[in-house]
Chains A and B, each alone.
Chain A
Amino acid sequence: MASELRVNTLKDAAGNNSIATSFVANGSAKSFINFNAATPAIRKSFNVSSLDDNGTGLFDVNFSSAMGDVNYTLTSGSGDTGSNVFHIAFAGDNTTPTAPATANYPLKLANAAGNAFVDVPFSMASVHGDLA
């Protein structure tokens, strides 16, 4: 049987740096992903079951364990070793879901000018919010 500790507050041994366990649960990322959009291939992920490729620059990231509601947050980043820089938006377009769901969220990868979808070599996102 797995051991389980039920506690409301964590402190260091000196009694400092107090943090409520509710902050631990709420402050922990519930999912993250780093993927190559061109392949596509997931390099590293947490609480991600799969990645749907809906076309150039259009993806759905599917959770292994669903979120409790659709009001979670997403932070994203991209990386490229070339001269171009890209954005990742928390949205799809008319052909993909345009809003987050409890089971997944859409990512749209656009070029720096925002006028074309692109497959970014390093696409990254992390999610904070409530698990189901």
Chain B
Amino acid sequence: MSEILVNKLTGTSTAGSILVTGEGNSTTTNLQQGLAKCWGHFEGSDATLDDSFNSASLTDNGTGDFSANFTNNMGSVSYTGSFQSDDASNTNASAFADSSIRIQTRNSVNTVADRDDTIYTTFGDLA
């Protein structure tokens, strides 16, 4: 079984671009572009960040209003993300910054409210 021990992968032609052969064994996909750049799981009721990746902290801006602060910034504000909370809730991004993403959580009747088990993931370019 082949195995490589390495702490850092860098492209030879372009440092931030490495191709990975896809599941169909022919098409390649870009490793860096396909990696999630940030994710997190928090409880809105007490603004506790349960687990995360590249999220330095969570800021409680008020009821149903949170900012997930990145450890390593995004390269621009044009990144993409997905958001979800528990039960019949409605969770979305309300503002994008390269250092954080602001998340608004609402209940089933579309009133801003703290929601638990709120999850977020971002994709895009790191700075």
Seen from chain A, the residues whose Cβ lies within 8 Å of a Cβ on chain B are: 2-3, 5-15, 21, 24-26, 28-30, 32-34, 43-44, 46-47, 65-66, 68, 75-81, 85-87, 112-113, 122, 124-126, 130-132
Contact = CB atoms under 8 A, between A and B. Distances in A.
A8 B3 CA distance: 6
Contact of B95 (A81, A87, A124): A81
B78 A9 contact: no
B56 interface: no
B27 A132 contact: yes
A48 B9 CA distance: 25
Contact of B20 (A11, A15, A25): A25
A80 B24 CA distance: 37
A10 B6 contact: yes
B22 A34 contact: no
Given A12-B5, A44-B79, A68-B23, A80 B29 contact: no
Interface residues of B, number: 46
Contacts of A124: 80-82, 93
B101 to A, nearest CB: 9
Interface in B4-38: 4-7, 9, 12-13, 19-24, 26-27, 29-31, 33-36
Contacts of B81: 77, 124
Interface of B: 1-7, 9, 12-13, 19-24, 26-27, 29-31, 33-36, 76, 78-83, 90, 92-96, 104, 106, 110, 120-121, 123-125
Contacts of B79: 34, 44
21 contacts: A8-B1, A9-B4, A10-B4, A21-B20, A24-B20, A25-B21, A25-B23, A28-B34, A33-B80, A46-B30, A47-B29, A75-B82, A76-B82, A77-B93, A79-B92, A85-B90, A85-B110, A122-B96, A126-B123, A130-B22, A132-B26
A22 B2 CA distance: 13
B57 to A, nearest CB: 21
A6 to B, nearest CB: 7
Given A11-B3, A28-B34, A112-B90, A65 B106 contact: no
